[in-house]
């Protein structure tokens, strides 16, 4: 084995990769080869090798550098040695380079019918067991053994994903379009699990009692998440979970519980942005309400105006500048937001922020230039509108004073 004066941790530092999780033997970083932002690339610190669980790229530390920057292995070795030997200038040169991102060309399968998903998931759950550690966990949560059995909780499989899938297909179950199943590099159907998704599986049922999705309670939560959906959207032939609605109870009962909102709709995106923007609207409107003379509203009511009429004719005109200012701030923050939009938008939809981030990765110079110009124009428009909103009351007061003098 060839000895190197550096290790894969040094390569991560030279390339300035974002580390999402670390322990004594491995690192999880954002993959520079496929535009990943969730730490899908795992680096083995002992063996100095990498593998991305999103795009499937793997190899040694020289391969990582060479693939990212489009150089041969000899050049990669030379440049890494220069950057790790104290050459700050060389390290800065490397980090300024644009990485040519290879976005995987993925074709997802259309979602299977509820009946097909139910048949496949039901048989899959029958093939699996519930580990003692997961059963004890559920008992500690207050479940009885009868409830555990009735709800059908099972542990995630550790290995044999292809065998499970092959057996399902042989028994007449549909795997195409069922979230969690996808085609591997050899074109064979398999099931997507990994070490980070270990836990117990929860069958998600609709109002007809059909299993139309699977959620996993993780043994080891990561990125602030205790639960994840069984999905294969990032793989060839895979399918998104769609975050299906979970129905608990009997349709005929007076009280039922429905959990979850489908990400195929715009509801999560709209709600997320309302929550994000509401505090800024509040901060813009409340000062105007405090400055308003409450006696004007009371006088309007005394003179026979209805509450609705007084609202539109007395209150809103006095706080209109605050409403407009709050609106502009809300729109600005909504356009600028990336993280809320990323986690709440439908898979087939892009906001301006998510489109900009995705489009400016790699070496798409023309797109970058156009987006920089667009960003500048939007910024200038917001500044002009904000100035106009703040100057409007002053101009109105000047006109009123001039009219009074006449």
How much is the pLDDT for 250?
64
How much is the pLDDT for 43?
93
Least confident of 84-88, 127-131, 166-170, 205-209: 84-88
Q: Does residue 108 contact residue 238 with C-beta atoms inside 8 Å?
A: yes
Least confident of 54-68, 74-88, 169-183, 303-317: 74-88
Mean pLDDT (whole number) for 344-359 = 72
- pTM value is 0.48
What lies within 8 Å, CB to CB, of 138 at 6+ separation is 148, 153, 200
DSSP E strands: which ranges in 158-260? 181-183, 189-191, 199-205, 211-222, 225-229, 246-248, 257-259
How much is the pLDDT for 387?
79
How much is the pLDDT for 264?
60
Q: Does residue 210 contact residue 230 with C-beta atoms inside 8 Å?
A: no
Instruction: Tell me the CATH architecture of domain 8-96.
Output: Alpha-Beta Complex (3.90)
Q: Which pLDDT band holds residue 353 (cuts at 50, 70, 90)?
A: confident
How much is the pLDDT for 1?
44
CB neighbourhood size of 121 (10 A): 26
The C-alpha atoms of residue 191 and residue 260 are separated, in whole angstroms, by 24
Q: How many degrees, rounded to 5, is the angle at CA 168 between CA 162 and CA 169?
A: 90
Q: Does residue 199 contact residue 193 with C-beta atoms inside 8 Å?
A: no
Q: Does residue 282 contact residue 300 with C-beta atoms inside 8 Å?
A: no
The C-alpha atoms of residue 102 and residue 31 are separated, in whole angstroms, by 10
| Most confident range, picked from 66-75, 167-176, 393-402 | 167-176
pLDDT above 90: percentage of residues in the chain = 24
3-class SS of residue 217: strand
Least confident of 114-118, 183-187, 203-207, 363-367: 363-367
Of residues 148 and 343, more confidence is placed in 148
At residue 3, does pLDDT exceed 80? no
CB neighbourhood size of 204 (10 A): 22
For the chain, domain boundaries? 8-96, 114-259, 267-405
Would you tell me which CATH number, out of the four given (3.40.190.290, 3.90.980.10, 3.40.50.300, 1.10.10.10), belongs to the domain 114-259? 3.90.980.10
335 burial level (CB within 10 Å; 0-12, 13-18, 19+): middle
What lies within 8 Å, CB to CB, of 58 at 6+ separation is 49, 50, 51, 52
Alpha helices, DSSP H only, in 17-154? 61-69, 73-84, 88-96, 114-127, 132-140, 145-151
126 burial level (CB within 10 Å; 0-12, 13-18, 19+): exposed
- The string over 241-254, giving b where at least 16 C-beta atoms fall within 10 Å of a residue's C-beta and e elsewhere, is bbbbbbbeeeeeee
DSSP per-residue letters across 294-363: HHHHHHHHHTT--HHHHIIIIIHHHHHHHHHHHHHHHHHHHHH--HHHHHHS-TT---HHHHHHHHTSSS
At residue 132, does pLDDT exceed 90? yes
Give me the chain's average pLDDT, please: 82
How much is the pLDDT for 18?
87
Least confident of 89-103, 136-150, 195-209, 344-358: 89-103
Q: Which pLDDT band holds residue 328 (cuts at 50, 70, 90)?
A: confident
Of residues 281 and 265, more confidence is placed in 281
In CATH terms, the fold of domain 267-405 is MetI-like fold (1.10.3720)
3-class SS of residue 27: strand
Of residues 97 and 269, more confidence is placed in 269
């Amino acid at each position: 084995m060839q000895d190197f004066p550096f290790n894969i941790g040094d390569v991560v530092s030279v390339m300035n990769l974002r580390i999402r999780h670390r322990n004594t033997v491995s690192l999880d970083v954002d993959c520079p080869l496929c535009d990943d932002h969730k730490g899908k690339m795992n680096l083995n610190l002992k063996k100095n090798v990498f593998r991305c669980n999103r795009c499937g790229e793997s190899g040694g530390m020289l391969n990582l550098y060479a693939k990212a920057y489009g150089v041969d292995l000899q050049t990669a070795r030379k440049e890494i040695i220069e950057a790790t030997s104290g050459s700050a200038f060389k390290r800065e040169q490397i980090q300024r380079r644009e990485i040519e991102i290879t976005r995987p060309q993925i074709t997802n399968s259309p979602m299977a019918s509820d009946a097909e998903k139910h048949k496949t998931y039901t048989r899959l759950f029958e093939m699996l067991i519930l580990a003692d550690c997961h059963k004890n966990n559920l008992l500690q949560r207050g479940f009885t053994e009868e409830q555990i059995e009735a709800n059908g909780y099972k542990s995630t499989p550790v290995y044999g994903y292809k065998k499970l899938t092959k057996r399902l297909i042989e028994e007449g179950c549909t795997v195409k379009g069922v979230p969690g199943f996808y085609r591997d590099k050899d074109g064979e159907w398999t099931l997507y699990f990994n070490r980070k998704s270990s836990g117990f599986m929860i069958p998600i049922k609709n109002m007809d009692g059909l299993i139309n999705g699977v959620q996993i309670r993780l043994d080891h939560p990561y990125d602030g998440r205790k639960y994840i959906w069984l999905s294969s959207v990032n793989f060839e032939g895979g399918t998104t979970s769609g975050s299906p609605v979970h129905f608990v109870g009997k349709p005929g009962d007076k009280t039922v519980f429905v959990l979850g909102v489908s990400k195929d709709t715009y509801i999560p995106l709209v709600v997320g942005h309302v929550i994000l923007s509401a505090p800024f609207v509040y901060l813009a409107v409340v000062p105007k309400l405090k400055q308003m003379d409450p006696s004007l509203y009371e006088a309007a009511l005394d003179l026979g105006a209805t509450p609705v009429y007084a609202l539109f004719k007395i209150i809103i005109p006095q706080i209109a500048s605050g409403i407009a200012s709050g609106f502009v701030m809300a729109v600005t923050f909504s356009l600028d937001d990336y993280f809320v939009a990323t986690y709440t938008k439908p898979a087939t939809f892009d906001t301006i922020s998510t489109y900009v981030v995705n489009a400016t990765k790699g070496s798409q110079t023309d797109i970058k230039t156009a987006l920089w110009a667009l960003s500048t124009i939007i910024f200038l428009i917001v500044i002009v509108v904000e100035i106009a909103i703040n100057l409007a009351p002053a101009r109105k007061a000047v006109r009123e004073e001039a009219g009074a003098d006449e």
